[in-house]
Structure 1
Amino acid sequence: MANLEREALPLPTGFRLSTGSFHKLSALLTLVALAIAFSFGNDAFLTVNNGLTVLLQTSVIGLLGIGMTLVIITGGIDLSVGSVLALSGVVTGLAVKAGVPTAPAMALGIVAGAACGLVNGFVVTKMRITPFVATLGMMLIARGVALQLTGAAPISRLGEAFGILGNGSLFRIVEKTGGIFPKVVFPGIPYPAILLAAVAIAAAYLLNRRQIGRHIYATGSNEEAARLSGVLVDRTKIFAYTLSGALAGLAGNVLMSRLVTVQPNEGVMYELDAIAAAVIGGASLMGGVGNISGTMIGAFIIGVLRNGLNMAGVSAFIQQIVIGVIVIVAVYIDQIRNRR
């Protein structure tokens, strides 16, 4: 395998850095503008409690968005993450019901998600089926398996330990008042937010500091040039899809833990939120461009937008319209960038 220092792809790398910085800055300014606009409409928007609520609500989108970003950088797409999220949650719930402790059961759910991603990668690379069709098939398969395993019924009574990941918090401060319920001084930082931060840092390190990260960028920038430079393109794509599936499994555990109930119908349309977060954050659907920090900003734009619109009493249907328009605008900007 050729040494990575001899990769003949310096121009795409430099282009990625300059355009990525521009999109990240524009996305960050958009996030700040949304926060200011919603704060004028509702005094409770900028409170600590609401900020922590946004963190909690964004955690699932962020985890899915990180995996989606890796796949998009390779030039692919993963439409199955919402269904894989549900299937992974079902696997975890059934394992807990079978007597498996919560932590190992959640690990099984993540492994189930990674297995779905591995199949996606195999179908894309070895069977030469386009990512859109391959992951669309997995979306239907995973959802069908989840519904079949549960009979389309929720799995409940999973124990208090099952709800710790989704509902626990760090640095929670309470004050005894002498009554039945203590006064909550600080609700604490939600565990899902801490988990999201840890995964984002690890993914950014992988993309920017590890060889596999450079291979992911090279594959998306110019697949044939990457192959001639010694990059194992198929292995790189399989890695990206597998990691996307594993993160979908982790997101499934977080979401089901928040609900303290496994819902096989959860995760519908979540793949669109993940794609939106990545694209808003500057990832190019043409491949080769994208970064984790931009995706995090994109995820928080969606989270803040939904939170602010909910507080303003805007219906969920209108919210979908607004997010759809934002995605179209982001993709249009990406096309202008590619033409230039």
Structure 2
Amino acid sequence: MSAGLNPPVTAARRRLSDRQKDLIQTFAALGSLVALVAAFSLTSGAFLSLGNGMSIGLQVTSIALLGIGATVVIIAGGIDLSVGSVLALAGVVAALCVKELGLPVPLAMLAGIGVGGVCGLVNGLVVTRLKLPPFIATLGMMLIARGLALQLTGARAVSGLGEAFGELGNGALLRLVRVGEDGFPEVLFPGIPYPVLLMAVIALAVAFGLRRSVLGRHVYAVGSNAEAARLSGVAVGRVVTLTYVLSGLLAGLTGCVLMSRLVTAQPNEGVMYELDAIASAVIGGTSLAGGVGTISGTVIGAFVIGILRNGLNMNGVSAFTQQIIIGLVILLTVWIDQLRNRR
């Protein structure tokens, strides 16, 4: 009797243990974030200002959106190195649709996001059908997408896109402005930037999907043990492909948001962004071995990177030194992840 009950009890304990590990990793990342905020608040009086907070939020948006896609791919046991180049290609396509084809801005941005999704689909098919390692498959897409972005624009920026193109990246919800006695507008409240709202909605939606949907459970199962998932009836190839499609779509969306903020499409935008995306996921507790990770942890990881850069900038630390510090943080985080996997 007791022997028959042992397997379910063991499985329940294992699930509980995994959830506890996720919580520990998330709170560890949150503790690091709080420590950074406290440290930079002491070294710079302007760090906790409302304007600087909005600036950090906008900077973090791109890292977080790309990091969410990277998290889902890594949980499923893959890696995506192409998101920075796909970001640039999607933004360029959206800009050219407005300037050359005269499409309305929403349709042009949907086209850009669609291009990102197509790049993600190609990545997924190359990994699942051609059986190429994810590192090589996405490295090839990184070069192809960047080359296409440069080819379409002649390696020049696409400008003259109009004010409507900049609304997504520069607009804000609940912005309060009053005209002063001198006739000039006075900003009472800068509002919540649209990119920050977009990041929050997408993070909540993907987190809910990972934890509550069948597809989300399959993503974790494939990352934990692809062969066991296949024997259990999971369509492993389809699940892996969908994770790359999601990563491509989010890269396309990030490209549209970034180009909208600049009101100019830069084919060289997004260089090395894939490393920030992967770093935010790893700092937030996502295991490079697959099967472990949370969206909340990734968002916290993105804020760790954003606040670290912002605080170092405000304290006059050079960009070269910042790269060294962030690189050391990534190495430390991955080392901790490796120790956890060995245990």
Deviations 1:285-322 (A, max 9, x none): 00000010000000000010111111111111111111
Q: 1:331 aligns with which of 329, 334, 342?
A: 334
Contact 1:88 1:109 in 2 (8 A): yes
Identity %: 62
Q: 1:213 aligns with which of 213, 216, 222?
A: 216
SS in 2 for 1:174: strand
Contact 1:64 1:271 in 2 (8 A): yes
Aligned-partner Cα distance in 1 for 2:83–2:320: 22
Matches within 5 A, 1:33-72: 33-72=35-74
Aligned-partner Cα distance in 1 for 2:102–2:338: 51
Matches within 5 A, 1:146-161: 146-161=149-164
Letter paired with 2:48? L
Residue segments in structure 2 that go unaligned for 5+ positions in a row? 1-7
Which residue does the alignment assign to 1:301? Answer: 304
Q: 1:93 aligns with which of 92, 95, 104?
A: 95
Instruction: Confirm or deny that 1:164 pairs with 2:156.
Output: no
SS in 2 for 1:184: strand
Letter paired with 1:111? G
SS in 1 for 2:160: coil
Shift of 1:178: 2.3
Instruction: Confirm or deny that 1:118 pairs with 2:121.
Output: yes
Aligned-partner Cα distance in 1 for 2:77–2:183: 56
Aligned-partner Cα distance in 1 for 2:153–2:171: 27
Instruction: Confirm or deny that 1:257 pairs with 2:260.
Output: yes
Q: 1:20 aligns with which of 14, 17, 22?
A: 22
Deviations 1:137-180 (A, max 9, x none): 00000000000000100000001000000000111112221224
Aligned-partner Cα distance in 2 for 1:312–1:140: 36
Aligned-partner Cα distance in 2 for 1:318–1:10: 46
Which residue does the alignment assign to 1:3? Answer: none
Contact 1:171 1:189 in 2 (8 A): yes
Larger Rg over CA atoms: 2
Which residue does the alignment assign to 1:133? Answer: 136
Q: 1:280 aligns with which of 276, 280, 283?
A: 283
SS in 2 for 1:183: strand
Letter paired with 1:247? L
TM-score by length of 2: 0.95
Q: Judging changes above 3 Å, is the alpha-carbon distance between structure 1 residues 14 and 124 closer, same or farther for their aligned structure 2 residues?
A: farther
Q: 2:147 aligns with which of 135, 144, 152?
A: 144
Which residue does the alignment assign to 2:32? Answer: 30
Residue segments in structure 1 that go unaligned for 5+ positions in a row? 1-5
